[in-house]
Chain A
Amino acid sequence: MELNTLTIKQAGQMLAKKEISSVDLTKACLARIKEVDGKIKACLTVCENEALTQAKTADARRSKGEQGELLGIPMLVKDVIMTKEVRTTAASRILDNYTAPYDATVVRRLKAAGAVLLGKTNTDEFAHGSSTENSAYWTSRNPWDLTRVPGGSSGGSAAGVAADMSIFALGTDTGGSTRYPAAFCGIVGLKQTYGRSSRFGLMAMTSSTDVPGIFGKTVADVALVLNKMAGVDKNDATTVNDLVPDYGKELSKSLKGLTIGLPAEYFIKGIHQGVIKAINQAMETFKNLGVKFKPVSLPLTKYALPVYYIICPAEISSNLARFDGIGYGFSEQNGVKNLYETYAKSRGKGFGLEAKRRIMLGTYALSAGYYDAYYLKAQKVRSKLRQEMYQALEEVDCLLTPTAPHPAFKIGQQVDDPLKMYLEDIFMVAPSLAGLPGLSVPCGFAVPDDGETPLPVGLQLIGKRLDETTILRVGHQYEQATEWHKQKAKI
């Protein structure tokens, strides 16, 4: 058996029975990375030595009688999440040689639980994008069709799990960056409630919507990882003190009597026929599981993207101000005459096209004379959007929508049209702006209009605030009734 193809649950059982060691498992993942990552290009850094050392430590802990679901389980981590002693680049030239002095809280917690860091994965620069095409290094490939994008921004992590290079992976999700690539790559992706897990050590993009994301091969695996990550952190004042439930506990509970809302505004013209077919099929499955569907209306949905593309660049322009060529990161030294030039030349050369575009857009939206018309207006519309979603969720247990309007697109297809690329996030950004949890689960395949290879389709479940339990349960029960999550790309 190829150990790298295991789920956390499966590997954990074998580790517990001493049938395999963490070193075996880690070696299998590292071998898989060597075998296929030349084609997929998911990883920016592979830390083989550190991984094997951590695996040995995990084995030693187990031999002393310690147990734990993640003890000795390998993971990949998106390269906007800081890791001590292993470089963190944000896929940006400005941080090409940067090594963080500490681990992000979520990494620290997972390492404490015994997870083994295999390496850091590709992303759009500073997570700005939906395809990894904005990476300063390279574009990652979709394991299902190497001419297509894996989605983004956490595309390297999604492709890495889909290609069995790792047992699970971490991403981030600001406006869809975990759910969207999960759908494109045919795996499970969770965006948590804002405030559920710490953002400390995540390179800030849009601080008011950034959350850590989890990629897994099954919903049950994602629940296991969330158990170890969630909870208040004194280093992140926006984490909430609410009790962290055992997210695995209710997975097996039947869905009988549950009501799922279908927002009409998410089933619009322009969605790929194959996606619609897959979602309709999934709804039949849910009905057989005893779920009732209820139409709900979210008329402000169409304003979610324009709100997001004010708030997101505004927060980016502020957050990326810290890259100034002084404290760390790339610093232009040639022909620099004064402090202003240190700033402007280091930033001009260090940032890629999309990062600069968003800084420009955000600076404009926040500048004198435009603040009220853009930023303040967007924050007010955000209040209405949020209220509308909260109200809709009072009548149902969760919402169901497609994750993306179409399957994975070809590399280079829309790279020159930023507005078109922003529209990719259409089903993702409203729950982000409202701080709600969202889960993408594989629900079938669709043949794209410009190709023949069937590509994965995902469905999105949007839950009530802090109610990851329900969407995980709905996703898990769906998974038990279907085989989609077991399909593997042939690379």
Chain B
Amino acid sequence: MQLSKNEIQHIAKLARLELTDVELEKYGAQLSAVLNYIDQLKEVEVQGVEPTAQVTGLENVLREDVVRGWDKAEIEEALNGAPEREGRFIKVKRVIE
């Protein structure tokens, strides 16, 4: 299978990645090669097989629904990572046009 430039662009948009023309071209060929390799999975019969999403066998691991305090320094440290702040808030571009 060969992915077209349009398909690659569509995937990049879904993934929120701005790619250069060089990258678009390179990924087109490389992703096609990897997908061709992966296609050998078609040989395996999986009728009636349950998919594995996790391997621990754990079910419904619950905890108390309580607020756990963070100390002030940790809160500051976490907020400090944001490029734009206003007090205790992180500033973002307008969401609704």
Q: Assess whether A339 is interfacial by the CB under 8 Å rule.
A: yes
Chain A nearest Cβ from B51, distance in angstroms: 3
Cα distance A101–B70 in the bound complex, in angstroms: 10
Tell me which residues across on chain B come within 8 A of A195, comparing CB atoms: 55-56, 58
Q: Assess whether B78 is interfacial by the CB under 8 Å rule.
A: yes
Cα distance A44–B75 in the bound complex, in angstroms: 26
The answer to whether B19 and A383 have CB atoms under 8 Å apart is no
Known: A98-B81, A101-B75, A344-B17. 6 other contacts (CB 8 A): A240-B58, A317-B15, A325-B83, A326-B82, A333-B83, A419-B33
The answer to whether A328 and B11 have CB atoms under 8 Å apart is no
Tell me which residues across on chain A come within 8 A of B13, comparing CB atoms: 344
Q: Assess whether A357 is interfacial by the CB under 8 Å rule.
A: yes
Cα distance A329–B90 in the bound complex, in angstroms: 13
Q: Interface readout for A291-319 with B: 1 if CB under 8 Å, 0 if not?
A: 00000000010110011011000000100
- Residue with the highest number of chain A CB atoms closer than 10 Å, among B50, B75, B77: B77
* Contacts A338-B97, A348-B17 given; does A360 touch B46 at CB 8 Å: no
Q: Is the interface of B mostly helix, strand, loop or mixed?
A: loop
The answer to whether B50 and A326 have CB atoms under 8 Å apart is no
The answer to whether A379 and B51 have CB atoms under 8 Å apart is yes
Task: Considering the complex, give the chain B residue whose CB is closest to the CB of A340.
Answer: B16
Cα distance A435–B58 in the bound complex, in angstroms: 13
Q: Assess whether B88 is interfacial by the CB under 8 Å rule.
A: no
Tell me which residues across on chain A come within 8 A of B27, comparing CB atoms: 356-357, 360
Q: Interface readout for A50-84 with B: 1 if CB under 8 Å, 0 if not?
A: 00000000000000000000000000000000000
Chain A nearest Cβ from B45, distance in angstroms: 9
Q: Assess whether A324 is interfacial by the CB under 8 Å rule.
A: yes
Q: Assess whether A361 is interfacial by the CB under 8 Å rule.
A: yes
Q: Assess whether A194 is interfacial by the CB under 8 Å rule.
A: yes
Size class of the contact patch on chain A: 35 or more
The answer to whether B46 and A345 have CB atoms under 8 Å apart is no
Tell me which residues across on chain B come within 8 A of A238, comparing CB atoms: 54, 56, 58, 61
From A306, A328, A339, A360, B8 is in contact (CB under 8 Å) with A360
Task: Considering the complex, give the chain B residue whose CB is closest to the CB of A330.
Answer: B83
Q: Assess whether A367 is interfacial by the CB under 8 Å rule.
A: yes
Q: Assess whether B21 is interfacial by the CB under 8 Å rule.
A: no
Q: Assess whether A327 is interfacial by the CB under 8 Å rule.
A: yes
The answer to whether B44 and A303 have CB atoms under 8 Å apart is yes
Interface-forming stretch among A111-119, A258-266, A370-378, A399-407? A370-378
The answer to whether B15 and A336 have CB atoms under 8 Å apart is no
From B23, B53, B93, A342 is in contact (CB under 8 Å) with B93
Q: Assess whether B67 is interfacial by the CB under 8 Å rule.
A: no
Cα distance A302–B38 in the bound complex, in angstroms: 11
Task: Considering the complex, give the chain B residue whose CB is closest to the CB of A435.
Answer: B55
The answer to whether A383 and B49 have CB atoms under 8 Å apart is yes
Chain B nearest Cβ from A339, distance in angstroms: 4
From B11, B46, B78, A377 is in contact (CB under 8 Å) with B46
Tell me which residues across on chain A come within 8 A of B12, comparing CB atoms: 360
Tell me which residues across on chain B come within 8 A of A273, comparing CB atoms: none
The answer to whether B46 and A326 have CB atoms under 8 Å apart is no
The answer to whether B23 and A356 have CB atoms under 8 Å apart is yes
The answer to whether B74 and A381 have CB atoms under 8 Å apart is no
Residues of A within 8 A of B (CB): 98-99, 101-102, 194-195, 208, 234, 237-238, 240, 300, 302-303, 306-307, 309-310, 317, 321, 324-329, 331, 333, 336, 338-345, 347-349, 351, 353, 356-357, 359-361, 363-364, 367, 374, 376-384, 386, 418-419, 422, 433-435
The answer to whether A101 and B53 have CB atoms under 8 Å apart is no
From B14, B37, B95, A339 is in contact (CB under 8 Å) with B95
Tell me which residues across on chain B come within 8 A of A434, comparing CB atoms: 55
Cα distance A321–B31 in the bound complex, in angstroms: 20
Chain B nearest Cβ from A355, distance in angstroms: 10
Chain A nearest Cβ from B20, distance in angstroms: 8
Tell me which residues across on chain A come within 8 A of B50, comparing CB atoms: 380, 383
Cα distance A40–B66 in the bound complex, in angstroms: 48
Cα distance A377–B77 in the bound complex, in angstroms: 42
The answer to whether A379 and B53 have CB atoms under 8 Å apart is yes
Task: Considering the complex, give the chain B residue whose CB is closest to the CB of A418.
Answer: B30
Chain B nearest Cβ from A350, distance in angstroms: 10
Q: Assess whether B65 is interfacial by the CB under 8 Å rule.
A: no
- Residue with the highest number of chain A CB atoms closer than 10 Å, among B39, B43, B93, B94: B93
Chain A nearest Cβ from B42, distance in angstroms: 8
Tell me which residues across on chain B come within 8 A of A422, comparing CB atoms: 34
Tell me which residues across on chain A come within 8 A of B23, comparing CB atoms: 353, 356
Q: Assess whether B18 is interfacial by the CB under 8 Å rule.
A: yes
Cα distance A349–B20 in the bound complex, in angstroms: 10
Task: Considering the complex, give the chain A residue whose CB is closest to the CB of B46.
Answer: A380
The answer to whether A380 and B56 have CB atoms under 8 Å apart is no
Chain B nearest Cβ from A230, distance in angstroms: 14
* Contacts A237-B58, A363-B14, A384-B44 given; does A309 touch B19 at CB 8 Å: no
Chain B nearest Cβ from A186, distance in angstroms: 30
Chain B nearest Cβ from A134, distance in angstroms: 14
Chain A nearest Cβ from B31, distance in angstroms: 6
From A328, A347, A364, A379, B16 is in contact (CB under 8 Å) with A347
* Contacts A237-B58, A344-B18 given; does A382 touch B52 at CB 8 Å: yes
The answer to whether B49 and A380 have CB atoms under 8 Å apart is yes
Chain A nearest Cβ from B21, distance in angstroms: 12
The answer to whether A348 and B90 have CB atoms under 8 Å apart is no
Cα distance A434–B49 in the bound complex, in angstroms: 15
